[in-house]
Amino acid sequence: MNALITSLIRAGFDPERIIPGAPMAQYTTFRVGGPADVLVHIASEQEVSITLHAAQEAGVPVTVIGNGSNLLVRDGGIRGLVMHMGQSFSDIARDGDTIRAQAGATMAAVAHFAQREGLDGLAEIAGIPGTIGGGAIMNAGAYGGELSQTVARVDAIAQRDGKPRHYEGAALGFAYRRSAMMDAGVIITGVTFKLRPGDPDAIAARIDELARARREKQPLEYPSAGSTFKRPTGLFAAKLIDDCGLRGLRVGDAQVSEKHTGFVVNLGSATASDILALMDEVKRRVLDQTGVALEPEVRIIGEDAPLKRPSDI
């Protein structure tokens, strides 16, 4: 790992943006997860290519994260290099009725920028706590809006060869919480939105209304990764879980939210293994009682914590 860090610094990386042993709990909204061997805060497209190349030379695996709002990192952390697309890679600019943003811009920042510019189409995604890179790859959506409705183009870099890729129109391959970029092994660097003119006050009112609805329904007072399970075809995971009597079920400090049974929340000191054990128990009981097999919506990554040796206990 030291050779990798040295080659990144030689390539011009600011050492302050290279974090060895980065605690992933600080980079995920669930606030759990062990350390990454090294985490790099990306600041440009060129740095994505440089980092990929350096990691390949060092034979080190690469994981990409945005705001960590759909991630559950196991307690042993992540081996290899984590590319963090966040604040330092988040410029947003307008060109006519399009907006282009770098991958690390949050959906909230892009939606509020569009609102101030009098461009409509992003109010529904303003409350989703991820980046546009994470949002575009997952086709994030809420309240009848999803990124597929406004994304005109995605710029990316292929993990395999470090070369640029561009996706437009049908090639974006959007479906429910899916996109073509998901299977292509690419790192999204920028997203262009095509929007329509709108009244800034009306857009602001819609953003506020939806934020209120979220605060009323969702347990935003606790760390979580949003909906824990995917919506089974024609059903709602939250309703199935509630009907099975699992509201408030706990493993350690991991709990099926009392407020919204679709969310598992961290009451304070939950570990990733508490959350995973709770998810397994929920899946088991829902399957037993209803025959429906729930699938996780959250991406589970990283390694389990090493088992304690008898001498450690």
Ligand X SMILES: Cc1cc2nc3c(=O)[nH]c(=O)nc-3n(C[C@H](O)[C@H](O)[C@H](O)COP(=O)(O)OP(=O)(O)OC[C@H]3O[C@@H](n4cnc5c(N)ncnc54)[C@H](O)[C@@H]3O)c2cc1C
- Residues involved in catalysis: 177, 227, 297
CA distance 59 to 54: 9
85 contributes a contact to ligand X by CB under 6 A: yes
Assigned token pair, 121: 């189409």
Segment near ligand X (CB under 6 A), from 135-143, 198-206, 253-261, 266-274?
Answer: 135-143
Residue 153 sits in the site that holds ligand X (CB under 6 A): no
Q: Which of residues 193-222 bind ligand X (CB under 6 A)?
A: 218, 220
**Min CB(146)–ligand X separation in Å:** 7
User: For residue 247, what are its two tokens?
Assistant: 């509201």
Contact segment (CB under 6 A) with ligand X among 138-146, 168-176, 236-244, 245-253 equals: 138-146
Shortest approach of ligand X to residue 192 CB, angstroms? 14
CA distance 188 to 186: 6
Site membership for ligand X, residue 131 (CB under 6 A): yes
257 binds ligand X, rule: CB under 6 A: no
CA distances from 21 to 6, 54, 208 (A): 15, 18, 39
- Under the binding rule (CB under 6 A), the answer on residue 65 touching ligand X is yes
Q: Is 159 in the site for ligand X (CB under 6 A)?
A: no
33-62 residues in contact with ligand X (CB under 6 A) are none
What residues make contact with ligand X under the rule CB under 6 A? 29, 64-71, 85, 103, 128-131, 133-135, 137-138, 140-142, 187-188, 218, 220, 224-226, 299
